[in-house]
Chain A
Amino acid sequence: MKNNRFKLILIAVVALVSVWSIWPTYRDYALTQKLKSFRSAEDSLKFAIDNREAIEQAKDKSLKLGLDLRGGMHLVMEVDILDLIEQKAWNKDATFTRVIESVKKEAADQSNANVVELVAAGFKKENIKLSRYFYDMRDSDQDIVNKLNGEAKDALVRAKEIIRNRIDQYGVAEPVIQTQGSQRLVIELSGVTDEARVRRLLMGTAKLEFKLVKDSETLLRAIQRISSAPLVASASTAPAAPSDSSMATAPVAAMPAPQAAGSGVKRLSDVIGMMPNGLVFAPEYARDQVTAVLSRPDVVALLPQDTQLLLAAKPEQTAKGEKYFPIYLVQKTPELTGGVITEAKATFSAQENQPEVAMSMNDEGTSKWARITGANIGKQIAIVLDNAVYSAPVVQSRIPSGNSVINGIGSLDEAKDLEIILKAGALPAPVRILEERTVGPSLGADYIRAGLFSLIWGFTAVAIFMIVYYNKAGIAADLALVLNILVVISVLAGFSAALTLPGIAGIVLTMGMAVDANVLIYERVREELSEGKSLRMAIDAGYNRAFSSILDSHVTTLAAAFLLYIYGVGPIQGFAVTLMIGTGASLFTAIVVTRVLFDLLMDSRFMNEKSFG
């Protein structure tokens, strides 16, 4: 009996801790219902303010729902370490480009390989010392690999911090951002309503540059030199590519050119247009094509030294409603870069009421900017963001204040995003999305309903079966089952592990498995009873003899669930977690709890030889 008292206390403690751990979840639910019940918005706001502390506390400690139930985005992004390595290299030549290209292909085949090692191996194959392109001539290959590895690691951490900054400023509750391996970031955002905006925020490298614009004569000469460059045939998506090669006086972009359709090989001159005043433009449909052609090495080689052709970020519109993107020839080496920006603010411009972003610079940037503007009065300076020209104002006078403005922005939302990105800083290297899983809130609500139905029906089916099959002993097993479910949910809530749909499936499955232990015990008890043993002896023997089988089955299930947790990703881990907790808890509930119940009831008239059905 003394032993039982200890067990009773243990059970009471477990039950109390479970209830205590689940209580905030109930409070959270009750408070949310209460908030919804108010008829007027003022009442509900008043209630929210009066009970703010209680609401926040309950929310903080309540059971968290996974992204699939709550709705949200799960992203895996890769930081382009190869791009970073290219940035770090100097006096790049054709050999360098070739090696990097081959490494790029290799890296695409091997997932999560260390890019730095691949680059080192690539140069080693060509018998070229890394010091030819990286850091100091005196460095050994190993030094350089170490340094580049350090840079790569640093870049990943910086990318994580910058993305966290951006997300924090955008305002997403409880974002999860983790690094994975040597170049990946895992990002989980719940309740995101505008995925396109979030994606822009995450991906925007925000490389801001101020570049000198060459005069229109140089531009026209450069265009003439490259105009016969072929457009890559496969890149053409527009059917029967309309073009404008006729040097039209008005930018009529959509005029079909018969010779282009006939000759098959389309040239750059077939799609871009020129105006006598020196404006060069690409029609909207050919924008991506032209952008690709302009950055192709064979085209770049034809341009004057240290220049590049860039498209505008926003199209201009003709009276007829056709859209075209102006093309600029700019000095490749920027006068100033976004690193000097300290403050950014999205506003509307005073004159045209268009969204813009006002920026201010640090001391170094301010004095440079003053010198640059002073030296180039009357010339155009392009404000280039991620290789697109946002505006190219003519410098009217020297600007001593270190202020600048990006205009030509589509919407206020876009301006606000730009403000966030500029303030948080540029990413050290571009990022790519490798995996995305987005669940809308309505599907999440469906999943919650499906999960609840499964839980209720699963419990009902198993509980009724146990009572029908094992009579009063079945009731004990059912009580243990209730405690088991309580323990699973409370452990999830207590450790802030999120409940996912597979997690719910894990709980439902656990219910079926948890009573297995009772089945094994009860079958044994029945056997012992049929051999004529007394109830007490039969129960003793049943528990003792069934124990080793129960332990075996629990250990193997636990092992499988544990491995699933280690190797699984995302929602599947949720399944593994609930299965582990449920299986572990059922060892306690099915063996200890039911045993104590029987011991307590044995002396009363409630239990007799027929109680096991």
Chain B
Amino acid sequence: MRIFQKTSFNFIKHRKIAYAISSILLIAGMVSLVFRGLNYGIDFKGGSEVVIRFEKTVDVGAVRSIMRDAGVSGSVKQYGLDRSFLLKTDFQGDTSKLKTLISNSLASRLPGNPSQILSIQAVGPSIASDMKMSAIKALAAALIGILLYVSVRFEFKFATAGVAAIFHDVLTVLGLFSLLGGLFDFMPLEVDQSIIAAFLTIAGYSITDTVVVYDRIRERLRGQKPSDYERLFNESMNQTLSRTIITSGTTMLSVIVLFIFAGPAIRSFAFAMFAGILVGTYSSIFVAAPIVFDWQTRSKSPIKFRGA
């Protein structure tokens, strides 16, 4: 079976449209980051989260008012599982008190509908700020590491454009999280440790497609006249289009499976990966390679290819 057979899209000609789309996405994301900020999970903000499951269906408003009457400040939301709710409140050093308070008030107000506390997570503010620092360090180290690796493997212009594409991907997804955070009940889109895991994986994976396109471009450019570059860029991208999309596609299959089956704890992660792979595939075709092309046509020095 073949999905993309002998395509001949003129990617380079339409690159300005892609630049515009990317810029709009990035700017919208950045504006939202500045004004809306990110929705941090308890990992990075501190606080307590309690998941409660009822035996019968119950209205979220009812649970909310019971919690308010019990003096538990915080929010109650539907959780991704059946008949389950997520209660968020301030950090409690002694969760057993909180637990007793919740189960007692629920038992007395909803006697016909037994409930069960499925999980409690409490993260103190000092741990939260530690985890935030670790996450920032990990992201920075990953980006620097990949930058080093790519600059060893590729010529300077290719490497820089590749890393720009990674930043593009991670920032776009971050912007999406800021824009969409808290809008959906079935996935909170809060930035927590698992989202950092997604960002790191996106950063590592985003370069994969780019490398495939780059390898082909280098192979074709070698010993050719700069005047042919536009044709050669386009041909290279068309030739690798199929594999670029299929490799992303198989990974996308896994991510969709995770989104559907792996439960609410993994859903935001799967969403981040989904968006990241989508944007990553797009950016290797429409961002990384066109930047190299533009840079090359504007600069006087020809690309010095390494090796034979």
Contact = CB atoms under 8 A, between A and B. Distances in A.
B246 A509 contact: no
Contacts of A494: none
A468 interface: yes
B1 A451 contact: no
Contacts of B138: 563-564, 566-568
B204 A549 contact: no
B208 interface: yes
Nearest to A576: B197
B34 interface: no
Interface string B109-142: 0000000111111111011011100110110011
B266 A502 contact: yes
Contact of A469 (B116, B246, B258): B246
Interface in A446-480: 446-447, 450-451, 453-454, 457-458, 461-462, 465-466, 468-471
Interface stretch (B24-32, B60-68, B145-153, B289-297): B145-153
A437 B120 CA distance: 6
A450 B80 CA distance: 12
Nearest to B71: A237
B227 interface: no
Contacts of B153: 552
A112 interface: yes
Nearest to B138: A567
A114 to B, nearest CB: 14
B197 to A, nearest CB: 5
B211 A560 contact: no
B261 A552 contact: no
Interface string A547-570: 011001101111111011011111
Interface stretch (B15-23, B88-96, B172-180, B229-237): B88-96
B155 to A, nearest CB: 14
A350 interface: no
Interface residues of B, number: 74
Contacts of A596: none
Given A438-B121, A442-B116, A457 B215 contact: no
A115 to B, nearest CB: 12
B269 interface: yes
Contacts of B193: 568-572
Interface in B244-298: 246-247, 249-258, 260-263, 265-266, 269-270, 273
A52 interface: no
Contacts of B96: 195-196, 199
Given A512-B251, A512-B253, A564-B197, A438 B95 contact: yes
Contacts of A558: 204
Contacts of A572: 193-194, 196-197
A213 interface: no
A397 B126 CA distance: 52
Contacts of A450: 261-263, 266
B11 to A, nearest CB: 18
Tell me if B's interface is mostly helix, strand, loop or mixed.
Answer: helix
A579 B204 CA distance: 11
Given A508-B254, A527-B239, A575-B197, A552 B208 contact: yes
A432 B246 CA distance: 52
Interface string A56-71: 0000000000001000
Interface stretch (A136-144, A267-275, A513-521): A513-521
Contact of A556 (B124, B126, B130, B149): B149
B208 A111 contact: no
A492 interface: no
A566 B142 CA distance: 11
B272 to A, nearest CB: 12
23 contacts: A111-B129, A199-B95, A434-B127, A437-B121, A437-B122, A442-B116, A443-B51, A457-B257, A457-B260, A458-B257, A471-B1, A508-B258, A508-B262, A513-B254, A516-B247, A523-B243, A553-B207, A556-B207, A560-B201, A564-B142, A564-B197, A568-B193, A568-B196
Interface of B: 1-2, 51, 53, 81, 93-96, 99-100, 116-124, 126-127, 129-131, 134-135, 137-138, 141-142, 145-146, 149-150, 153, 193-194, 196-197, 200-201, 203-205, 207-208, 211-212, 215, 239, 242-243, 246-247, 249-258, 260-263, 265-266, 269-270, 273
Interface of A: 68, 76, 78, 108, 111-112, 195-196, 199, 432-440, 442-443, 446-447, 450-451, 453-454, 457-458, 461-462, 465-466, 468-471, 501-502, 504-505, 508-509, 511-513, 515-516, 519-520, 523-524, 527, 548-549, 552-553, 555-561, 563-564, 566-572, 575-576, 579, 613
Given A502-B269, A509-B201, A563-B200, 8 more contacts: A435-B122, A450-B263, A450-B266, A461-B256, A502-B266, A552-B149, A553-B205, A568-B197
